[in-house]
Amino acid sequence: MNDTDIIELFFARSEQAITALSERYDAFLISVAGELLDNDQDVEECLNDAYFGVWNAIPPTRPESLRGFTCRILRNCAIKRFQANRAAKRWNGYDVALEEIEKVFAAVGSPEEALTAKETGNLINVFLSRQSRQDRILFVRRYYLGQSPAQLAEATGRTAHYICVRLHRIRERLRIFLAKEGVVV
Amino acid sequence: MKDKIMDALAYTEQAYIDEAVDTDIRHRRGWIPWVAIAACLALVITAVFLWPRSRILYRSEDVTAEVVAPLSERLPMQSGNGTSIYVSHKEEVLFSENSVILRGTAENVREVRITYVRRMEGRPEISQSFEVFVTLFDLRISETLWSGGKVLPQVVTVGSDWSSRGGPVISQRDIEEGCECIVFARESALIQNDDWHRSSYSDLWVRTGMFIKLTQEGFYIPRSAAWMAQKLGQELFDQDCAFPAEFRESLLAMLRQLSRKHSN
């Protein structure tokens, strides 16, 4: 069953839509949630929350990419749980990714010019729009989905070192971009 | 700050997320390296096959004429007695494309090597080779050298010093020492009368012909190509020539071809 068929099932309010979505993207979504959460139980709960979120969102939304759409909802769920875990001093791999990009934001701007999360997000979108497709994908996979350099290396067929160097250059460009915009978070 | 960054990342456009999760980012070499490899191969093939072939001016079973090195205009060549031969190519000349005799133009004035390899029957490992060096250049040939039945080719070019002995002496010493010459020249390149030494320098000397220096035996071929063939066949090749019969036949065949062409 392809994405269009599954979306039609959602529109028809058929519970089979959840089953079909799960069959199609379960493994992928588990891996995405697994990057943000170490606990299998957390992952499972996030997944259920995400399916429920998709059920609520479709309709009226008709996503262009069901995988991307579900991934976004799952990530939002996972981030909430991730923040709760951090508050309880439970760290995981995504912290490393955040620390990488945190240095970029810490290096620019002044506190008086602090932007809201939405404004910062919009700036990141502008930055991403100016990057090559490959760099944009690497950035999103690393800092949005939390994939490790080793995973990205496996996905691209490159070495982890190559990925780290490339991510470093992307961050450096982001730092310059944010400095020009006078941003501090 | 991490929380704020996470929140900011939550505003990442859906299109970028879709792109990230839906795109296969496996690195592929693409077509550019393959095109580069193909181009290199083409260059190698060209270098190995086409370029050497372009140097081959004539090839038969026994004789191969190939370009050894282009000669620049007015490149001095030292003969045995020190007289210089200057290469020049002010006229087009003469010979058929598939014969050992060449068409002399500004482009193909160059040194040519003709190699003959004879292999002994039953002893293929033993071979005997003869090399003939050919240079297209301006020449002047004294017809009087034919008098008395003695074949004594002499060649001079524009700019060379005239010998005090009253004639061109470019290969004289070689000839005297037994190293004879063969000269192919078109009719117009020949001096038409015995008064050549009194004729105008420029009228008579700016001529193009072909000079072949043989290591063992030589011939002088004046006038027409038909005459060349006849002379070669009847007088020179029939003599006790040092060349192997196969080589003589090959050369003669080429001259006959030239003769037919000129007769037509």
| B27/A122 touch (CB, cutoff 8 Å), yes or no | no
In angstroms, what is the C-alpha Rg of chain B? 31
B14 touches chain A (CB under 8 A): yes
The CA distance from A133 to A138, in Å, is 9
Pairing outcome for strands B56-59 and B103-104: unpaired
How many Cα neighbours within 13 Å face the side chain of B222? Answer: 17
**Looking at CA atoms only, how far is residue B20 from chain A in angstroms?**
5
CB A123 within 8 Å of CB B9:
no
Give the per-residue pLDDT at A148: 85
Percent of chain A scored above 70 by pLDDT?
Answer: 89
Backbone angles phi, psi at A99, to 5 degrees: -65, -35
Question: B13, B16, B24: which to substitute to probe chain A, counting the most A Cβ within 10 Å?
Answer: B16
**Looking at CA atoms only, how far is residue B55 from chain A in angstroms?**
48
| B11/A118 touch (CB, cutoff 8 Å), yes or no | yes
What integer is the mean pLDDT of A115-141? Answer: 86
The CA distance from B22 to B15, in Å, is 10
- Give me A121's structure tokens: 């997000």
Q: What are the pLDDT digits (tens) for A73-107? A: 888 888 888 877 776 666 666 777 777 887 777 66
Q: What are the pLDDT digits (tens) for B124-173? A: 454 443 333 333 333 333 333 223 333 333 333 322 233 333 333 333 34
Per-position b or e across B74-93, b if 16+ CB within 10 A of its CB: bbebebeeebbbbbbbebeb
pLDDT band at A158 (very low <50, low <70, confident <90, very high): confident
| A137/B19 touch (CB, cutoff 8 Å), yes or no | yes
Question: A3, A98, A171: which to substitute to probe chain B, counting the most B Cβ within 10 Å?
Answer: A98
CB B75 within 8 Å of CB B67:
no
A 86-145: CB under 8 A from B: 86, 95, 98-99, 101-102, 105-106, 117-118, 120-122, 124-125, 128, 133-134, 136-138, 140-141, 143-145
Give the per-residue pLDDT at B37: 92
Give the per-residue pLDDT at B35: 92
Per-residue pLDDT at A63 exceeds 80: yes
The CA distance from B244 to B231, in Å, is 18
B11 touches chain A (CB under 8 A): yes
Q: What DSSP element (H or E) covers A105? A: helix A93-106
| B21/A121 touch (CB, cutoff 8 Å), yes or no | no
Per-residue pLDDT at B40 exceeds 90: yes
What integer is the mean pLDDT of B193-220? Answer: 30
Total count of residues recorded for chain A: 185
A101 CB neighbours in chain B (<8 A) are 5
Q: What are the pLDDT digits (tens) for B46-78? A: 877 766 555 555 555 544 444 443 333 333 333
Percent of chain B scored above 70 by pLDDT?
Answer: 18
Better-predicted residue by pLDDT, B195 or A126:
A126
| B1/A133 touch (CB, cutoff 8 Å), yes or no | no
Q: Which residue of B has its CA nearest to A117?
A: B8
**Looking at CA atoms only, how far is residue B18 from chain A in angstroms?**
4
B32 touches chain A (CB under 8 A): no
What integer is the mean pLDDT of B254-261? Answer: 50
Specify the DSSP class assigned to residue B13: -
B15 CB neighbours in chain A (<8 A) are 64
Q: Is the pTM of this model over 0.90?
A: no
Measured between its terminal Cα atoms, the distance across chain B in Å is 99
The CA distance from A22 to A26, in Å, is 5
In this complex, the residue of B5, B20, B22 whose CB is nearest that of residue A105 is B5
Cα of A70 vs its chain's centroid, Å: 11
| A185/B5 touch (CB, cutoff 8 Å), yes or no | yes
CB A124 within 8 Å of CB B9:
yes
Q: Which residue of A has its CA nearest to B18?
A: A68
Give the per-residue pLDDT at B60: 52
In this complex, the residue of A63, A82, A157 whose CB is nearest that of residue B27 is A157
- Give me B121's structure tokens: 């029957």
Q: What DSSP element (H or E) covers A8? A: helix A3-11
The CA distance from A158 to A55, in Å, is 37
What integer is the mean pLDDT of A38-62? Answer: 84
**Looking at CA atoms only, how far is residue A68 from chain B in angstroms?**
4
The CA distance from B188 to B210, in Å, is 13
- Give me A44's structure tokens: 């499972």
CB A121 within 8 Å of CB B11:
yes
pLDDT band at B93 (very low <50, low <70, confident <90, very high): very low
Better-predicted residue by pLDDT, A137 or B83:
A137
Percent of chain A scored above 90 by pLDDT?
Answer: 1
